């Protein structure tokens, strides 16, 4: 029997502060699995009870106080598979699970990298590049069909930002970052589901700064969040979209959720 699965990914920028919009999203969109980034909460006080009341009884958490943090909540069985320290400092930026159909789901929160795109002047930028390097090494070893999703904090294509010319020296769109993300994609022949459904140069953004007085009117967006799959899974994705209206909800995240529907 075919299995339909709707998988969503969202950098929520504090799950407790934005619990109302998370529950609204779950009610309106009803994903089977939601991957959260930047949960900003330790596991002991993650609002798991709220999600269990909504039928998300399977929860794999990797949190830490105040910063970072990732979680996967699900209505279908998931089993914890790994928590990889691609940051090499213990930060909670990855959690992976296995589904009953043998597919792996990896949820990642790549470091933003600070403001200065120079490893010597800005150690955070160097950490981001090294993080990607470790992901490249990991990708080369994969031997199972895998979905990799989350906040990659890189908009790789010229059309993935509102102005390539103005952002080419801005962290998240610099040539060195885009090149490394390209190496990561090549390391497993990852298929970028976003661009499979919205081929370049179609507009496709997932993040808009809080600094904009009217984010929708200015539309200075970037595509920082991604859904990638192993080559053999590309044909299993039947729908994909960015839930942009969530960016206008009360007390929003600066990211909008991704939603991909699969038939396995």
What is the reported pLDDT for 148?
98
Average pLDDT taken over every residue of the chain: 97
What is the reported pLDDT for 243?
98
pTM passes above 0.95: yes
Q: Which tens digit of pLDDT belongs to each residue from 81-116?
A: 799 999 999 999 999 999 999 999 999 999 999 999
C-alpha pair distances (Å), 88 with each of 36, 128, 156: 21, 11, 24
Query: Do the strands 4-11 and 58-62 form a parallel or antiparallel pair, or are they unpaired?
Result: unpaired
C-alpha pair distances (Å), 255 with each of 1, 77, 163, 182, 247: 35, 27, 18, 22, 7
What are the structural domains of the chain? 4-263 (3.60.10.10)
Give the CA diameter of the chain: 55
pLDDT band with cut points at 50, 70 and 90 for residue 160: very high
Could you give the residue ranges of the DSSP H alpha helices within the chain? 19-29, 48-53, 123-140, 164-167, 175-188, 193-197, 215-218
Q: Which tens digit of pLDDT belongs to each residue from 13-53?
A: 999 999 999 999 999 999 999 999 999 999 999 999 999 99
């Amino acid at each position: 029997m075919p299995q339909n699965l709707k998988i969503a990914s969202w950098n929520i920028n504090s799950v407790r502060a934005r619990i109302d919009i998370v529950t609204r999203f779950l009610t309106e969109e009803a994903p089977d699995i939601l991957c959260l980034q930047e949960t900003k909460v330790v596991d002991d006080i993650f609002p798991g009870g709220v999600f269990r009341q909504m039928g998300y009884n399977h929860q794999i958490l990797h949190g830490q106080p105040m910063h970072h943090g990732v979680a996967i909540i699900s209505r279908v069985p998931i089993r914890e598979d790994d928590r990889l320290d691609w940051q090499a400092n213990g930060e909670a930026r990855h959690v992976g699970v296995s589904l009953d159909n043998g597919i792996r789901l990896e949820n990642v929160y790549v470091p933003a990298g600070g403001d200065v795109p120079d490893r010597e002047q800005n150690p955070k930028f160097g950490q981001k590049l090294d993080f990607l390097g470790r992901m490249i090494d990991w990708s080369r070893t994969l031997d199972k069909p895998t979905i990799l999703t989350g906040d990659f904090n890189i908009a790789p294509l010229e059309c993935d930002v509102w102005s390539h010319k103005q952002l080419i020296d801005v962290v998240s769109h610099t040539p060195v970052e885009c090149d490394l993300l390209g190496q990561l994609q090549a390391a497993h022949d990852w298929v970028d589901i976003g661009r499979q459904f919205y081929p370049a140069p179609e507009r496709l953004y997932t993040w808009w700064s809080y600094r904009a007085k009217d984010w929708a009117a200015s539309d200075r967006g970037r595509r920082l969040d991604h859904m990638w799959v192993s080559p053999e899974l590309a044909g299993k994705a039947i729908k994909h979209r960015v839930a942009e209206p969530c960016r206008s909800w009360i007390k929003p995240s600066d990211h909008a959720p991704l939603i991909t529907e699969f038939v396995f």
